[in-house]
Structure 1
């Protein structure tokens, strides 16, 4: 399609994110987002999300001959479409490639001021220690809900120094481990058995393990209520907050 459009047209948003290898929700991966530099009028094509964007030439690059927004500008444009926790997941990948300062600079100069609050909320949560998008998304939900902030990818050892596990997230002071479980943890029998042994070892050391799946990320309020109950049993006395930055549960 790009070959028959105005030469100034470029891929942006989800389309550019996929080309750059930034994580986006599976349901959006086939979305086609194209833009043209303002003040030119946006391209109108069936099946295309089209925009006219104020953009500097330095914010554009090429991928296999296709003009696309840079990683930093692409991340900013994702704020139009995805939740803040999902934006954090994409940002954690981006900062390992271009650094936090590049994203901060792109967010500051982004011409659409309506996106600035969302970008600032995500920037405050980015962590280069994160090693998977779902782990990043989970961490963001926990922090945005006002629960104690977890550390990412913490090594836990037995009292004798023996390695026990490297956990996705640990809420220190409450010995609460959060583990994101993709479908392979359920369908791979060897992995499932390994997970159960690992969990038993952690609990023998006094840790509590909360396993989280995609279904939990899609219903964050229920997840927060579960975590709140667990943390209260361990002495947490504050209250979660209702975040504006992630979707509310569906009925």
Structure 2
């Protein structure tokens, strides 16, 4: 069997346009070799590559002014987006150019300014600020809050929202910005606490430090409803799958309850039923002295 000819160094181990390879002297047969995937016509990527390779390959196959946008741009920045957005690659072209049609690609013609496009490791991508705005069409307000919390505090998201060309999305984006709090430490924590605010529950303290009577540190909790002694914690899957973490959590919870606090743990399953979750939290708070009832904002998720 003849050994497969290596690709030129500038093409090896990365996505490339087939035209670029042909221009570099790579044969058509080598481009069709089994060690390469064809994410779309006109591009190749290393076999078994990750989602980033697929995005980059598709972008290389499109017209030169195309760029990653929406969930694909968010993935480039490692921003938290729901799994329901799937693996379809989202690309844009500057309006009024016609959006390209490709299998597995969602393409849009977008009104966009030059400063809203950046190069990220060589790929044209919407800026973080513009990416946040574009996600409004597909995310709930709590999910947008999680994105905003994950972005650097130095970004001027407010100006980006004011200048966003789709005026229908500006109220939703502004609502998410009003709930932004970069003290939160995980996307699910951000989503959970945004839900409590949108439901009109009492004011909470994020990342509250709790000490005992002697001033000894006991815990730093996701949220504390201080007036009612209620602690709210988001528990990811690692909290139950790692035995050492599970044991630590149980000891910590016992110490908090010995001080008179009540701990409510929330999981992803609870976030999928937000109104049921809020009803349980409200009932717990009422048992601890809260006299209110939930008042759902228009931005509270309908599901």
**TM-score, normalised by the number of residues in structure 1:** 0.94
Mapped contact 1:95–1:103 kept (Cα < 8 A): no
Q: Tell me if 1:180 matches 2:234.
A: yes
Look up the match of 1:111: 165
Q: For structure 2, which runs of at least 5 residues remain unmatched after alignment?
A: 1-57
> What is the SS of the residue equivalent to 2:227?
coil
Q: CA deviation at 1:34?
A: 0.6
Mapped contact 1:219–1:248 kept (Cα < 8 A): no
Q: CA deviation at 1:2?
A: 1.4
Mapped contact 2:141–2:301 kept (Cα < 8 A): no
Q: Tell me if 1:138 matches 2:192.
A: yes
Look up the match of 2:281: 227
- CA root-mean-square deviation: 1.2
Q: Tell me if 1:202 matches 2:256.
A: yes
- Give, in whole Å, the separation in 1 of the partners of 2:210 and 2:248: 16
Q: Following superposition, which runs of at least 4 residues in structure 1 exceed 6 angstroms of deviation?
A: none
User: Deviations for 1:170-190, whole angstroms, at most 9, x for unmatched residues?
Assistant: 112111111000111111111
User: Equivalent of 1:89, from 143, 146, 162?
Assistant: 146
Q: CA deviation at 1:124?
A: 0.4
User: Equivalent of 1:72, from 120, 125, 129?
Assistant: 129
User: Deviations for 1:179-206, whole angstroms, at most 9, x for unmatched residues?
Assistant: 0001111111111111011001101111
- Give, in whole Å, the separation in 2 of the partners of 1:29 and 1:18: 11
What count of residue pairs does the alignment treat as equivalent? 246
Q: CA deviation at 1:247?
A: 3.0
Q: For structure 1, which runs of at least 5 residues remain unmatched after alignment?
A: none
Mapped contact 2:199–2:300 kept (Cα < 8 A): no
Mapped contact 1:18–1:29 kept (Cα < 8 A): no
Q: CA deviation at 1:46?
A: 1.6
- Give, in whole Å, the separation in 2 of the partners of 1:95 and 1:142: 23
> What is the SS of the residue equivalent to 1:51?
strand
Mapped contact 1:170–1:178 kept (Cα < 8 A): yes
| Rg comparison, structure with higher value | 2
> What is the SS of the residue equivalent to 1:95?
coil
Q: Tell me if 1:170 matches 2:170.
A: no
Pairwise mapping of residues 26-45 of structure 1 onto structure 2 (< 5 A)? 26-28=83-85, 30-45=87-102
> What is the SS of the residue equivalent to 2:139?
coil
Look up the match of 1:23: 80
- Give, in whole Å, the separation in 2 of the partners of 1:215 and 1:245: 20
Mapped contact 1:75–1:87 kept (Cα < 8 A): yes
- Give, in whole Å, the separation in 1 of the partners of 2:103 and 2:298: 32
The structure whose RCO (Cα within 8 Å, separation 6+) is larger is: 1
Look up the match of 1:159: 213
User: Equivalent of 1:213, from 255, 267, 275?
Assistant: 267
